[in-house]
Amino acid sequence: MPGSSFSALILIADGTEEMEFTITYDTFVRAGIACTSAYVAADEGESASPGPIIATGSRGIKFLPDVLFSDINQIHGTAKFDALIIPGGAKGAATISECAGVQALVRDYIDHGKIVGMICAGSLAARTAKLPSQPLTSHPSVKEQLANDFLYSEEPVVVSGKLVTSRGPGTTFPFALTIVSMLLGPDKRKEVAGPMIFPEGTPW
């Protein structure tokens, strides 16, 4: 809708897959979606350390998150955001999906009809948050942990109501563009995908 503004909360932890975080963030910004990155600490002592928090991705790239996830309610309020994004990367996804605060937020967003995007091993958060059985996908490495509780799919991107899941680094562009389309419509997706030279005719 003209004049509408949307925002996304994108989680990150040590071990987050860099492409899944960066491509999603970048694609959203191109679409005019305001992004906030929130660092999920593996332990409380890490959050309490003095100085800026640096997240080290799965390939060693350093990121400076905007806020600590533990502070997000005080600073922004989680209700501000229209979408919640959980990237993968084995270590990062484990930290994020096992965080009780993240699990509660996933359930709250789904209950209030807000978009929750999970990609790669980030889809484990659907299980830890105890979401009901529904279609989803993930990186093949965590398929066995999800297939018994969900209607597992091999599709690059799976949309189930407001839950959007995807497979890995190579499917991050269609994952992000799908969420852009859900928030802002298919015309905005085309507007963003064009200058990216995202291949025309790609089925997803």
User: Using one digit for the tens of pLDDT, what is the confidence trace for 141-158?
Assistant: 999 999 999 999 999 999
Strand partners, 163: 116, 160
Over 60: is that where the pLDDT of 3 sits? no
- Mean pLDDT within 68-78: 77
Domains and CATH numbers, the chain: 7-196 (3.40.50.880)
Give the global pTM. Answer: 0.93
The pLDDT assigned to 130 comes to 98
The pLDDT assigned to 197 comes to 92
- Give the DSSP H/E element, type plus range, for residue 73: helix 72-75
CA distances from 47 to 28, 55, 138 (A): 27, 11, 29
Residues that are catalytic: 20, 120, 139
What percent of the chain stands above pLDDT 90? 83
- 59 vs 48, residue with greater confidence: 59
Q: Confirm if 139 and 167 have CB atoms less than 8 A apart.
A: yes
